[in-house]
Amino acid sequence: MSELTLAQAQAALEAVTEAAAERGKAVVVAVCDRHGELLAFARMASGLLASITIAQNKAYTAARLNRATRVLGERYSAGGAFVYFGDSRLTGFAGGLPVVLNGVICGAIGVSGLSEDEDEDFARLGLAALVAASGA
């Protein structure tokens, strides 16, 4: 499988937003295809407006670079140069994770609205739901 389905993406959105609601939190979630283009999106009613772009950029970055966005941020905070590779949509905020199914990058998920650690935890939860929905 090299393409995410809408059903898989929606499973991730539902898992993240339901878990956030249970914890009294509000998040924004974006799932993109392997090119980093938006496939599915959700903003909880009280989700931060700035998080709309940030969540999408986290998913975009994770898909384009095939790694967690935290890696880029850690490189920068450790004194390394933050390189945009000519692409201003790249971000080093944690909370973006690539989706790899059967060894193939199929897309990514990005979560924004909370601390970077919480965003990444929710992204992992969404990724697990997406993988479960794929049967992989």
Q: How far apart are CA 60 and CA 96, in angstroms?
A: 8
**1 within a domain of the structure (yes/no):** no
Task: Give 3-17 pLDDT, tens digit per residue.
Answer: 899 999 999 999 999
> What's the CATH code of the domain at 36?
3.30.450.150
Q: What residues make up the domain containing 65?
A: 6-134
Total of domains in the chain? 1
In whole angstroms, give the CA distance from residue 47 to residue 55: 11
User: Above pLDDT 90, what percent of the chain?
Assistant: 76
Does 20 reside within a domain? yes
**112: in domain:** yes
Assign 3-state DSSP to the chain and report helix, strand, coil percentages, each to 5. 45, 20, 35
User: pTM for this structure?
Assistant: 0.92
38 lies in a domain? yes
Predicted pLDDT of residue 109 = 98
Q: Is residue 84 part of a domain?
A: yes
Q: Mean pLDDT across the stretch 102-107?
A: 92
